[in-house]
């Protein structure tokens, strides 16, 4: 806690904290031989994952290994999901996926665990329903009826997830001019498989490409180094395949979301 001696209240809708990184084991049975995970659909994929998670538990292994084994297949699975399946996953399963997928260093996890055991960190499974000033302090109202009062409130929910509500001046300007359009889930912008941006008229842009978190709604798995490296290579290949005509095209740009 870097020397902080006071109490820290953590509010999470599901009451979950990040898991620790761990040393996994070989899991040759997943994916099952001959099974194309991208063709299963959400319901069958969830059933298969539950089956293998149960098997890992009987072995005394962390079931998050299944999520790691999906890493090579996630983007293709996501592309094959119907829009309804994507929305169901985001609504029902994304929070749990993020806890299992985006883990923290064991040293940090141990520090958080010790702080919870000592009572310094208190976890609330609830939503924040209101924040108001109370003199020089801040009052926070939770959905379970709890009222917290503190000296400082930190919003740790991450960047804005509704693309059309972005506060980025650059992205708002591109939206206003119709040069980019939100994807169907409003998680990022619309792009083709070669990362060419699709504008609001449904046309492939001749000047804009995208990579990184801007493609979350398109690819889901899109923020870690292996994925970013592959995307950067694909953008470079696309530009080389279709070199810009600088007499008619004054610039070529690659967009990556920034915080």
Residue 116 sits in a domain whose CATH number is 3.50.50.60
% pLDDT > 90, the chain: 64
Identify whether 227 is part of a domain: yes
Asked if residue 254 has pLDDT above 80, the reply is no
Dump pLDDT digits (tens) for 197-250: 999 999 999 889 999 999 999 999 998 888 999 999 999 998 888 766 555 555
Per-residue model confidence (pLDDT) at position 47: 96
Q: Could you tell me if 97 and 111 lie in one domain?
A: no
Q: Could you tell me if 171 and 248 lie in one domain?
A: yes
- The domain total for the chain is 3
Which residue is listed with tokens 């109202």? Answer: 141
89 Cβ neighbours under 8 A, 6+ residues apart: 42, 81, 97
Structural domain range at position 55: 37-101
**pTM, full prediction:** 0.83
Identify whether 23 is part of a domain: no
Per-residue model confidence (pLDDT) at position 4: 77
What is the rounded CA–CA span in Å between residue 214 and residue 161?
A: 10
- SS3 label, residue 187: coil
């Amino acid at each position: 806690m870097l020397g902080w001696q006071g109490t820290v209240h953590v509010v999470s809708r599901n009451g979950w904290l990040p898991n620790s990184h761990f040393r996994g084991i070989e899991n040759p049975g997943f994916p099952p031989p001959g099974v194309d995970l991208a063709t299963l659909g959400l319901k069958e994929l969830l059933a298969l994952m539950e089956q293998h998670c149960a098997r890992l538990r009987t072995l005394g292994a962390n079931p998050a290994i299944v999520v790691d084994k999906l890493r090579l297949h996630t983007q293709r699975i996501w592309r094959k999901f119907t829009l309804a399946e994507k929305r169901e996953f985001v609504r029902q399963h994304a929070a749990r996926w993020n806890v299992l997928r985006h883990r923290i260093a064991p040293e940090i996890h141990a520090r958080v665990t010790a702080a919870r055991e000592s009572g310094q960190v208190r976890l609330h499974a609830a939503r924040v329903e209101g924040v108001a000033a109370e003199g020089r302090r801040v009052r926070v109202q939770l959905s379970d009826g709890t009222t917290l009062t503190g000296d400082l409130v930190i919003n740790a929910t991450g960047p804005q997830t509704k693309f059309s509500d972005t506060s980025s001046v650059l992205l708002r300007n591109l939206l206003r001019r119709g040069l980019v359009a939100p994807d169907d889930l409003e998680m990022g912008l619309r792009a083709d498989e070669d990362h060419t941006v699709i504008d609001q008229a449904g046309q492939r842009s001749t000047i804009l490409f995208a990579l990184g978190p801007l493609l979350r709604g398109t690819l889901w798995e899109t923020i870690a180094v292996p994925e970013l490296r592959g995307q950067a290579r694909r953008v470079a290949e696309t530009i080389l395949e279709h070199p810009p005509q600088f007499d008619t095209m004054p610039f070529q740009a690659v967009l990556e979301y920034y915080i």
